[in-house]
Amino acid sequence: MRSFLKIVFGSCLGSILAILFLFIIILTIGLISSSGKNSIQKNAVLLLDFDGLLPEKTNNVSQSSQFNFSPQSAIGSYDLVKLIKKAATDDKISQIVIKSESSSMGFVTMRHLADALDSLRETTDKTVYAFGDFFTQSGYILASEADSIFLNPQGRVDLRGFGVMQSFSKDFLEKLGIKMNVFYAGEYKSAAEAYYRNDMSEKAKTQTREYLNSLHQSFVDIICENRGLEKSEVNQGINNYSYSYGETALESGIVDGLLQWFQFEDRLRKNMGLESGTPINYISIKDYRKKTSLLDDKKIENDKIAVIYAEGEIHYNNEDNGLISEKLYHEVFDEVRSNDDIKAVVVRINSPGGSSFTSETILQELNQIKAEGKPVIASFGNYAASGGYYIACQADEILAEPNTLTGSIGAFSVFPDASKMFEDKLGVHFDTVKTSKFASAFVPAMGMTQAEKDFIDHSNKRIYQTFISHVAKGRNMEYEDVEKVAQGRIWTGPKAVELNLVDRIGNLDEAIAVAAQKAGLESYSTKEYPSIQTPPWAEFIEGLSGGNVSLLSELKDNPLSAEIITLKKRLKFYTENKTPLVLLPIKVSY
């Protein structure tokens, strides 16, 4: 017995010591990482790189990959705006260099950053430079806000206009013996065309072309304003792909000089009064965030406005960051309702939609907040369409950005029939005994009966009618009037205002001001949701790995593998939902 107690005691002691040792390591890492606070050296050059992940709320990105052992971190676009404004008044920052060649973000996000850079340039005597070996369209828009743009002599400015390219898998699936049964309500609801067509329908092309033309015009307007160029010249240059060589980009005024990086640094040193060869004290935007405070100088008020970021696809029963789910947001809404200090709510929506069940649940949660006396204002980002519009349609007021993509009021379902694959390709046959008509229903291996098809079709129409009814009630419109502008049709922000789907054009700050006015608040603070929990060891692991330890990263260079993985993920998403989907048919990258 005494020997047994010694063994148990020894095991417990070993475990306690191991835990203590781990705690000391984590504490040390925390002290090391925090020791750099407020240690920005004078005459620093802030290096702005907007490449990579860019959510609206910091770190609101998925961490679900089983092959990625380093939690992903990403500075949110609104924190980036705050950091840019902070740099404008920071006497330790002497120059700003934009080195963001290829940014993957929506047009609304891009304009927010561009506006912040424009404000920085106008409110400070600090010089803002842009340098790139190559510039994509999104990278160039941000670069155009600089005082001067420099391009590598062998580089190019990839201004080519906007297009949407979509793959169609109908023939591929049929070769596998799989037929996709697609049900949709709304003539323009084209999200699932890829599974029953080999090309885009005319209605899908019509609404996509209309949006892209609006986007193109906004894009050209920004370039002309920033660079002092004529619209006709820029349109012609884009149409002819004239800026794809450094010499023509320089001659046309798209860039100000052709320099190698070392030559650009020499120019930078001269402007800073540094001798040739002196090291330049660069600080990345990520390090700048670690070493500076984003807290407002104004007093923290007791009265608060909750700003709830709802970004990403809408999924049922999912708690991943970067997605919207009833599970995650139920906790958020509970806290907002129970917190007496919160007097109003702004829901910032950046979503193409998804699960109709989750969309309905979130809509009702927001209605309950309204019923308890707290105004709810909706603010639209890059996308607030289909399910993204569904959750907002009964807000007290809706504000959209000029290039927001919204509407898409419709529903669809996708159900695979793999019976031919099993029977003809694999030689596997199924049979069943059942007590009622639907006892063995909705099994891909068995195909679909007409009764099953009728049921799903009815479910889609029912969701569509419910969606329209919610919009009619929220927007104080007749059902028939909503139906005319529904049909799965997508609209830009200004057109949505014209159709009464949106109240006005405005950004998040203006939406917060509206919420304050409706709540009768003269002074207030904001509180952001959801809370993104980052493990204390995440930064340490990221430092060791260089921020990228994904075993699947090589797939980005294999289009076929990437296409198959994307197809698999989309089919899984479409088929695992228990109710029809309310999802935007397109997503545009810039």
Query: What is the band of 34 on the pLDDT scale with cuts at 50, 70, 90?
Result: very low
Residue 35 sits at φ, ψ, to 5 deg, of: -70, -20
What 3-state class would DSSP assign to 458?
helix
Dmax (CA) of the chain: 93
Predicted local confidence at residue 69, as pLDDT: 44
What 3-state class would DSSP assign to 45?
strand
Helices (H), 1-76: 2-34
Distance from the Cα of residue 22 to its chain's centroid = 36
β-pairing, 353-355 with 376-385? unpaired
Structure tokens at 80: 């980036």
pLDDT exceeds 60 at position 514: yes
Map out the domains of the chain with their CATH numbers: 41-160+241-291 (3.90.226.10), 304-414+458-583 (3.90.226.10)
Listed residue (193, 208, 120) closest to 162, CA to CA: 208
User: What tens digit of pLDDT does each residue of 114-165 get?
Assistant: 999 998 888 888 999 999 999 999 899 999 999 999 999 999 999 999 988 8
Task: Kindly state the average pLDDT of the residues 348-359.
Answer: 95
CA separation for the pair 482, 468 (Å, rounded) = 6
Share of the chain above pLDDT 70, in %: 82
Predicted local confidence at residue 86, as pLDDT: 92
Listed residue (555, 578, 579) closest to 568, CA to CA: 555
pLDDT exceeds 60 at position 548: no
Q: Is the Cα torsion angle 225, 400, 482, 202 positive or negative in sign?
A: positive
User: What tens digit of pLDDT does each residue of 377-423 get?
Assistant: 999 999 999 999 999 999 999 999 999 999 999 998 888 888 888 88
In the predicted model, what is the mean pLDDT of the chain? 85
Structure tokens at 73: 């971190």
- Choose between 186 and 343: higher pLDDT: 343
Q: Is the Cα torsion angle 550, 551, 556, 559 positive or negative in sign?
A: negative
Percent helix, strand and coil across the chain, each rounded to 5?
45, 15, 35
**Are the beta carbons of 100 and 48 closer than 8 angstroms?**
yes
Q: Is the Cα torsion angle 224, 350, 50, 528 positive or negative in sign?
A: positive
Task: Kindly state the average pLDDT of the residues 482-496.
Answer: 95
pLDDT exceeds 90 at position 65: no
| 293 C-beta neighbours (distance < 10 Å), count | 11
User: What tens digit of pLDDT does each residue of 207-234 get?
Assistant: 999 999 999 999 999 999 999 999 999 9
- CA distances 159 to 134, 243, 291, 366, Å, are 11, 7, 36, 42
Lowest model confidence (mean pLDDT) among 248-252, 291-295, 444-448, 502-506? 291-295
Q: Is the Cα torsion angle 42, 47, 52, 58 positive or negative in sign?
A: positive
Task: Kindly state the average pLDDT of the residues 491-496.
Answer: 96
Side-chain-side CA neighbours of 17 within 13 Å: the count stands at 6
Listed residue (468, 460, 459, 463) closest to 486, CA to CA: 468
Element (H, E) at 93: strand 93-98
User: What tens digit of pLDDT does each residue of 239-294 get?
Assistant: 999 999 999 999 999 999 999 999 999 999 999 999 988 999 999 999 999 888 87
Which pTM does this prediction carry?
0.86
Query: What is the band of 515 on the pLDDT scale with cuts at 50, 70, 90?
Result: very high
CA separation for the pair 43, 61 (Å, rounded) = 34
CA separation for the pair 191, 583 (Å, rounded) = 7
Query: What is the band of 589 on the pLDDT scale with cuts at 50, 70, 90?
Result: low
Phi-psi region of 561 (alpha: psi -120 to 50; beta: other; left: phi over 0): alpha
Element (H, E) at 131: strand 127-135
Query: What is the band of 21 on the pLDDT scale with cuts at 50, 70, 90?
Result: low
Listed residue (81, 94, 24, 13) closest to 50, CA to CA: 81
Task: Kindly state the average pLDDT of the residues 45-67.
Answer: 77
Residue 264 sits at φ, ψ, to 5 deg, of: -65, -40
Query: What is the band of 531 on the pLDDT scale with cuts at 50, 70, 90?
Result: confident
Q: Is the Cα torsion angle 166, 560, 74, 353 positive or negative in sign?
A: positive
CA separation for the pair 98, 128 (Å, rounded) = 7
Structure tokens at 162: 């906007």
Query: What is the band of 36 on the pLDDT scale with cuts at 50, 70, 90?
Result: very low
Burial of 143 (0-12, 13-18, 19+ CB in 10 A): buried
**Are the beta carbons of 146 and 167 closer than 8 angstroms?**
no
Lowest model confidence (mean pLDDT) among 7-21, 247-261, 574-588? 7-21
Share of the chain above pLDDT 90, in %: 59
